[in-house]
């Protein structure tokens, strides 16, 4: 086996002890970098603590950059790797750091948020998380259909409550667009209570929408659960 194929086996498979160590090390570093990101938001951190966090961030960037370059080097179809989901996630994990060099502080704050893409790297190192990717591919058409119907129901709910409540509450339900907020929090059964109907017709309509909302919450869970079972079967067969 050539040197390049050996490196490829280590970074892309878990068929060897070095491959397992590599995967686990990257996973640990990803989790540590996410924790570091959270620690940076703590108020009144000392200058010394900020320095250590900055050094750790640079170490993470160095390791993730080397990992990205190695994966690019060993890939047979380099353009496909760069444009793939995993390739884009790997790039987004390091790109904000390099883009932030020489930019003003406001831009840096925005770019720092993009570091959260780093947590998506865990998906390719975990068979359980990768199963979600397979499951969503299997249930893609059903989920698209469901969310299309959901958007239609949200719109119809907004129109309905507008006609029931506009006269009684012209400020809270000033238009169909203002009613969209009520439709979303009602269909998702969140019910913040900041906007609610006061007419009899509006309350009856709200009851109907709440019943529909219970189905909207539960249906995707069933679709994803069924797809996850199929994904598990596919992985077991492989």
Instruction: Name the pTM for this structure.
Output: 0.61
Its sign, for the CA torsion 88, 89, 90, 95, is positive
For 169-190, the pLDDT digits (tens) are 988 888 888 899 999 888 887 7
> Between these two residues, 54 and 229, which has the higher pLDDT value?
54
Q: Which two tokens stand for residue 224?
A: 């994803």
Distance from the Cα of residue 30 to its chain's centroid: 15
pLDDT band, very low/low/confident/very high, at 159 (cuts 50, 70, 90) = very high
207 by DSSP, 3-state: which? Answer: helix
Half-sphere exposure of 45 (CA within 13 A, CB side): 16
> What domains can you pick out in the chain, each with its CATH number?
3-125 (1.20.120.350), 140-237 (1.10.287.70)
> Between these two residues, 136 and 50, which has the higher pLDDT value?
50
| DSSP character at residue 16 | S
For 73-119, the pLDDT digits (tens) are 888 888 888 888 778 888 888 887 887 776 554 555 555 666 666 67
């Amino acid at each position: 086996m050539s040197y390049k194929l050996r490196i490829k086996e280590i970074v892309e498979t878990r068929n060897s002890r070095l491959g397992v160590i590599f995967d686990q090390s990257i996973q640990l570093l990803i989790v540590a970098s996410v924790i570091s990101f959270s620690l940076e938001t703590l108020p009144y951190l000392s200058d010394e603590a900020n320095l250590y966090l900055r050094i750790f961030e640079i170490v993470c960037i160095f390791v993730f950059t080397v990992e990205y370059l190695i994966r690019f080097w060993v890939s047979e179809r380099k353009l496909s790797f760069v444009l793939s989901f995993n390739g884009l996630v790997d790039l987004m994990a390091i790109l904000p750091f390099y883009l932030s060099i020489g930019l003003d502080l406001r831009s840096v704050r925005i770019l720092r948020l993009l570091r959260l893409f780093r947590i998506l790297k865990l998906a390719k190192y975990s068979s359980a998380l990768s199963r979600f990717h397979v499951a969503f591919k299997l249930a893609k058409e059903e989920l698209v259909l469901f969310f299309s119907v959901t958007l239609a129901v949200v719109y119809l709910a907004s129109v309905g409550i507008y006609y029931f409540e506009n006269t009684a509450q012209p400020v809270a339900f000033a238009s169909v667009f203002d009613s969209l907020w009520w439709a979303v929090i009602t269909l998702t059964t969140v019910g913040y209570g900041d906007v609610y109907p006061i007419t009899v017709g509006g309350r009856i309509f709200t009851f109907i929408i709440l019943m529909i909302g219970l189905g909207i919450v539960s249906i995707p869970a069933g679709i994803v659960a069924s797809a996850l079972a199929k994904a598990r079967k596919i992985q077991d067969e492989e």
